Amino acid sequence: MLEVREWERGAHKRSEEGTFFALGVSSSRILTEETLEATTTSPPSPQPISDPDAPAVSLQQRRLELEVKTLKEKVSHTYVKLTRKLESERVTTHSIKAELRNTQKALMSEVGDGVGLSKVIDPSSGWKGRAQQIAILKDKILSLSRASTSLPTLTSPTPPLCQSPHSMSLLDVSSSHENDDRHRANLRRMAMERRGEGEKMKEEVETLRCANADLKQRYYGMASRNKTLDRSLRDVKVKLQLLVRKADKDDTLIKALQEEIRRLKERLARSNKDADSRHENDLRSPTITETPTYSLCNCQLQQSTSPPRNHYQNDSNPTWASASEHSYNPLLSPPIDHPSTISSLHMEREALTALLNQHRDRMTAAEGRVVEL
């Protein structure tokens, strides 16, 4: 109804605009006709008179004629445009009037002949449309059918063939009501099932969200652990490289110590052999009672000036070689039974054995480190 009311207002407004437009067109037409009559019935141009102002008057007249001509052309163009627009508006007005008549007919058939449009439009009148009345009547029929089913049955039921049309309509209403109840029950059951499925889906979503959070936490933990393991692996690689270099150095040191031990063993064996041979020669030769002072002093001087033997010296040391040669030279050294010579030999032998034992300990320690690596 509101749409019909708005449409009527728009049609009334359009009709008013059409009338105003028609009035404007008629007024413009009257004006154009008056201008045309004025131009056509204008008095004839006066004959030229011998006047000094005649050229100026002729120029002004020509200008006026040109202006009148341009105005005529403009008026003709506007007249054509306005006539075309008037015809189009007339066509639209006729179509709107036909549509309005059809709408009024449909509205009267829907509302009824005895009902005025003012009553239909007025919201305070309490008028109800046909659809609302049909819905109200359906609700009344349902309530009456429920009330009739709740009433006690008669003692002498009528046969189905003798039922009246009213009773048939009541039975149809009751059957439709039963169908509606059954469908409502089905809808409730389906709604409950859907609600249960929705709850299950929510629970599954929550469990999946918790599992996702747990997996994210585990992933971050594994990533941090992987980083720490990478750092520790790099540190281990660096340490392993250091240990490999140290093992190579220890191998070279072990080889050098083994070579030095071998030389010391050979030297000890030579010194033992020389000492044994010297002892045998001394036993075979007669005992010398007197010893030259020069040789004894020279031997003592050489023994005092000879540097001590450390474990880094080898056989190529000239000082050690010269000292050993002088100590074993029978011409410069005192006799073998001299107590200083015997004690020096014993001391040298003890020093060599101690040095050999020290080198053996160092070699075993280096081998132990290599085994640990």
Mean pLDDT of 241-268: 85
Question: How many CB atoms sit inside 10 A of residue 332's CB?
Answer: 16
The per-residue pLDDT for 182 is 78
The beta-strand segments (E) located in 28-169 are: none
Between residues 214 and 284, which one has the greater pLDDT? 214
Mean per-residue pLDDT, 6-25: 55
Would the pTM of this model clear 0.75, i.e. be above it?
A: no
What local confidence, expressed as pLDDT, does residue 207 receive?
A: 92
CA distances from 371 to 243, 247, 341, 365 (A): 12, 10, 45, 10
Q: What is the average per-residue pLDDT within 157-176?
A: 51
Contact between 91 and 55 (Cβ < 8 Å): no
The pLDDT assigned to 208 comes to 93
- Between 119 and 299, whose confidence is greater? 119
Q: Is 335 in contact with 291 (CB distance < 8 Å)?
A: yes
Predicted confidence (pLDDT) per residue in 38-52, tens digit = 444 444 444 444 455
Backbone φ, ψ for residue 335 (5° rounding): -65, 160
pLDDT of 333 reads 42
pLDDT digits (tens, 9 = 90+) for 343-367: 666 677 777 778 777 777 877 777 7
Average pLDDT in the chain: 70
pLDDT more than 70, % of the chain:
58
pLDDT above 50 for 320? no
The whole-number pLDDT of residue 175 equals 64
